[in-house]
Amino acid sequence: MVDASDVRLRGDGFVLRRWKAEDARWLIRHANDAEVAAPLSDRFPHPYRREDAWRFLAGEVVNLEEPVFAIDIDGRACGGIGARLLGGDHQGSAELGYWLGRRFWGRGLMSRIVADFVPWLMQSHEIHRVQAVVLTQNPASARVLEKAGFAQEGILRQAFLKQGRPHDVRMYARVRAD
């Protein structure tokens, strides 16, 4: 496995890099948007306040030792992408998550980011399967995954709790052989 502390992945119009304390301002600006938060887990609150940014940047929300990166556009953190490495019987698998500030939607940017990040993740962390779930009412995120080579494996009924209510999600995966 690679030490991701110094990793910087450059793509067409973006850089993926480690989060840093100076990102708090931009994190709040782009994360404090109801439309950004709507399809995400409740770990991503709305409204998104300064305390939420500091908790995230301190590693209290997700493990920042894992491959979790800021999406940097023009020197500013405008979103995030990361993977939770699974263990036990799921060793060699990872769960993907991502978000992007609304100002950058509709440009194909997230599709390019996922398409660059996933092969790097698979190679650098010896991953054979990357999976992601998207709410059934989020077709844009489903398209992002499909453009990045993911295949829908099925619908997980009432598998996602959002604001206390269960929701159906689409399970997507990309395996090394794909």
The predicted-structure confidence for 94-150, as pLDDT tens digits, reads as follows 999 999 999 999 999 999 999 999 999 999 999 999 999 999 999 999 999 999 999
Residue 38, domain member (yes or no) = yes
What is the model's pLDDT at position 2? 45
Query: The domain containing residue 105 runs over which residues?
Result: 4-130
What DSSP element (H or E) covers 106?
none
Residue 73, domain member (yes or no) = yes
Domain CATH number, residue 55? 3.40.630.30
Domains in the chain, number: 1
Residue 18, domain member (yes or no) = yes
What is the model's pLDDT at position 9? 84
Distance (Å, rounded) from C-alpha 31 to C-alpha 36? Answer: 7
What is the model's pLDDT at position 42? 87
Q: What is the helix, strand, coil percentage profile of the chain, to 5? A: 30, 35, 35
Residue 55, domain member (yes or no) = yes
